[in-house]
Amino acid sequence: MTNGKRMLLGSFFQTFLGHHLAAWRYPETKTEEVTKLSLYKEIAEISEEGKFDFLFLADVLAHNEEDIAYTPQIRLEATTMAALASVTKDIGLVATLSTTFTHPYNVARQFATIDHLSGGRAAWNIVTTAHDHEAANFGLEEQLDHSLRYERADEFVQVTKKLWDSWEKDALLFDRENGIFLDEKKIHPIYHEGKYYKVRGPINIPRPPQGHPILVTASASEKGREFAAKHADILFTIAPSTVEEGKAVYNSIKQKVSAYGRNPEHFKIMPGIVPFVAKTEKEAREKFEQFQELILPQLGIGWLSRYVDHDLSQYSPDDHLPELKDVDQVNGEKGRFKLLSELAKERNYTIKELARYFVGTQGHLFIVGSGEQVADKLSEWFLNGAADGFNIKFPYFPGGVRDFVDHVIPVLQERGIVQTEYAGGNLRENLGLEYPVSQKLEV
């Protein structure tokens, strides 16, 4: 039924208390624990109980001041994943770090450290940092140009891979008898000199258990998808509205991967979905309406304006969306831009309607229904070749994870479509990805 493949599942968490913008007002959401380990530990434990492949921690380097009073925008930083490494056993740990405002030597060490301490469960979600208000925290008036960011990211990732390769995997000897700790011939400087970075190497941490930590990225732009096809193991996407479109996107990305001489089977495409799930469809719909009613009327248009890169406050909320920029001119997140502009046309939404849709889902496909119904929808995408799995964006924490694990996971497990136990290897092995061949660095 699944051609021997299984559906991958990511447990997306961020410190916004849920993927629905009004989640923090919902009575069962543990809002007061927004900065506490207890909440993240609970999310991690429920996710591991549900045999999710990984936890995914998003990050952004500034908040939007406009709506900060009404929408939680707190982001704990990537080190959070190390804290979860010691309270979990099998689940992968995806942390986000920007290539634009860090240095590859530091980032290579951070992920090598998490990979060692977690026994091979580290993954890096590579971002280039989209917004001007983030750049302002690093001395820039406005963000670097989109294509420049990706050029830099490309070299950055090359350097980190060289650093992880700078120790051969059998370099450590521990020969107490003769006093030889390691074989120094198996450790190599990298002597990298590129356009943006000059790094001698080697790193001062042994090769990570996975060889390289898993590389993840999320981008819908041409440059971003080229970058993903060249470097990444997993691509997060924003699901288009139909399976047919999803399939077209899926196939076009897999072709890009093949064009880089890589096996497309070892590249996983995972759209984000927002599930509102309960015992019955009726209960799920009621819950969804309860969430939508918690959205303050004044919210949404500001958020929407940023994502469509156009100030919508100058129009009446009952107007239709004005003519927008061409997607190539957008310097922010191109994926959401595209989805939102297309959706507005298709459904003939007014600004208010689109804003309401947007704040509830942040532009992601959402599914409201019973466990059976949500499982059907996910299975349909998976079995029709439109996704290798999904990045589940829970509407609220930790209850949204509980709902999914109680109602959806057992159905998918019964259908033999997701794992019922962890295979017991490291993350790379569990995902069925190849061990990376080490580059020859001797000069």
Task: Tell me the binding residues for FMN.
Answer: 59, 96, 146, 150, 221
Beta partners for residue 192, in sequence order: 199
Cis peptide before 398 (omega within 30 of 0): yes
DSSP string, 266-328: GSEEEEEEEEEEESSHHHHHHHHHHHHHTS-TT-SHHHHHHHHTS-GGGS-TTSBP-PPPPGG
Beta partners for residue 57, in sequence order: 13, 95
Question: Which residue do the tokens 């590389």 mark?
Answer: 215
Stretch that binds its own copies, among 46-54, 85-93, 279-287, 334-342 (CB under 8 A): 85-93
The residues in 132-191 that bind its own copies, with binding defined as CB under 8 A, are 133, 136-139, 172, 174, 176, 179-184, 187
Q: What pairing do the DSSP bridges indicate for beta strands 198-199 and 192-193?
A: antiparallel
Centroid of chain to Cα 331: 20
Among 7, 9, 55, 61, binds its own copies (CB under 8 A): 61
H/E stretch holding 401: helix 399-407
Stretch that binds its own copies, among 57-65, 237-245, 374-382, 433-441 (CB under 8 A): 57-65
Q: How far is the CB of 125 from its own copies (least distance, A)?
A: 15
Q: How far is the CB of 132 from its own copies (least distance, A)?
A: 10
> Which CA distances in Å does 354 have to 33, 289, 290, 339?
31, 16, 19, 11
All residues at 6 or more sequence positions from 143 whose CB lies less than 8 Å from its CB, including other chains:
100, 129, 130, 131, 132, 134, 135, 149, 331
Residue 43 three-state SS: helix
Among 19, 75, 254, 336, binds its own copies (CB under 8 A): 75
Residue 184 three-state SS: helix
Stretch that binds its own copies, among 142-150, 193-201, 376-384, 401-409 (CB under 8 A): 193-201
User: What 8-state DSSP symbol labels residue 434?
Assistant: P
The residues in 29-48 that bind its own copies, with binding defined as CB under 8 A, are 31-32, 34-37, 40-41
Q: Is 289 in the site for its own copies (CB under 8 A)?
A: no
Q: Pick between residue 74 and residue 259 the one whose CB is nearest to its own copies.
A: 74
Structural tokens at position 161:
């891979």
Among 14, 71, 99, 391, binds its own copies (CB under 8 A): 71
Q: Pick between residue 118 and residue 361 the one whose CB is nearest to its own copies.
A: 118
Cis peptide before 202 (omega within 30 of 0): yes
Q: Is 116 in the site for its own copies (CB under 8 A)?
A: yes
Axis crossing angle, helix 243-259 with helix 222-231, rounded to the nearest 10: 60
CB 335 within 8 A of CB 220: yes
Among 6, 28, 45, 70, binds its own copies (CB under 8 A): 70
Q: How far is the CB of 324 from its own copies (least distance, A)?
A: 28
The residues in 406-425 that bind its own copies, with binding defined as CB under 8 A, are none
Please name which of 124, 31, 49 lies closest in space to residue 87, comparing C-alpha atoms: 49
Residue 443 three-state SS: coil
Among 9, 78, 127, 351, binds its own copies (CB under 8 A): 78
CB 387 within 8 A of CB 246: yes
Residues 327-356: x/- map of binding to its own copies (CB under 8 A)?
------------------------------
Q: Pick between residue 211 and residue 246 the one whose CB is nearest to its own copies.
A: 211
Stretch that binds its own copies, among 68-76, 244-252, 253-261, 368-376 (CB under 8 A): 68-76
Axis crossing angle, helix 222-231 with helix 146-165, rounded to the nearest 10: 10
Q: Pick between residue 165 and residue 388 the one whose CB is nearest to its own copies.
A: 165
The 10 Å Cβ neighbour count of residue 209 is: 20
Residues 366-405: x/- map of binding to its own copies (CB under 8 A)?
----------------------------------------
Structural tokens at position 135:
């750049």
Q: Is 62 in the site for its own copies (CB under 8 A)?
A: yes
Q: Pick between residue 148 and residue 296 the one whose CB is nearest to its own copies.
A: 296
Among 5, 6, 28, 76, binds its own copies (CB under 8 A): 76
Q: How far is the CB of 101 from its own copies (least distance, A)?
A: 6
Among 201, 271, 335, 369, binds its own copies (CB under 8 A): 201
Q: How many residues of this chain interact with its own copies, rule: CB under 8 A? A: 77
Q: Pick between residue 47 and residue 341 the one whose CB is nearest to its own copies.
A: 47
Among 5, 6, 63, 169, binds its own copies (CB under 8 A): 63
Q: Pick between residue 9 and residue 153 the one whose CB is nearest to its own copies.
A: 153
Q: Is 27 in the site for its own copies (CB under 8 A)?
A: yes
